Structure 1
């Protein structure tokens, strides 16, 4: 079973402000980019993985640099007393381990 991490050069997660999070998939080749772009890695899958409303997941395909970005509202704002990853930097693992 091929996973995102097996095809992508780099997968990362980060803040997109205190209320939004972003996941990014960087690919070395157009072939790898198209493989992920045309896979089961969709807004629906991101909504399932990160427990967010699918209609709020924004998807950006940056064809000229082989990057796919997903942005969605954080369940609780950055810095909230119950928030456990202030920079959203460790959340990429779920995406990296997702099967294509």
Structure 2
């Protein structure tokens, strides 16, 4: 199977306030977007397992016209709090890179 890191044209994570992180996944075309949008990337249980977050708190937003999937989740610690290690949440997308997405359709 193909991993997300093999097909995403870009990924970024950022603050969505002091208590939330948003991950943006940019995909190159409609077919790849569809594969990712129907994979474990959009499954709150799979995403929650990657971040040790209750799946009930995972929010997934599909933007098919842009070939983008956005995932929002609570930060493990509030931004700037003691023990918080990524003030801008810039590296939080990394656990998603290894998620498997479906193979391309065969013609």
- The TM-score with structure 2 as length reference comes to 0.88
Shift of 1:97: 2.2
Q: How many residues align?
A: 100
Establish whether residue 75 from structure 1 lines up as the match of residue 96 from structure 2: no
Shift of 1:51: 0.8
Match of residue 60 from structure 2? 59
Match of residue 31 from structure 2? 31
Match of residue 91 from structure 2? 90
5+ residue gaps in structure 2?
Answer: 102-107
C-alpha distance after superposition, 1:27-68 (max 9, x if no partner): 110011001011122211110001111011011001110100
Alignment RMSD: 1.0
Match of residue 43 from structure 1? 44
5+ residue gaps in structure 1?
Answer: none
Match of residue 8 from structure 1? 8
Match of residue 18 from structure 1? 18
Residue pair 2:40, 2:47 contacting (<8 A) in 1 also:
no
C-alpha distance in 2, partners of 1:97/1:13?
16
Larger gyration radius, structure 1 or structure 2: 2
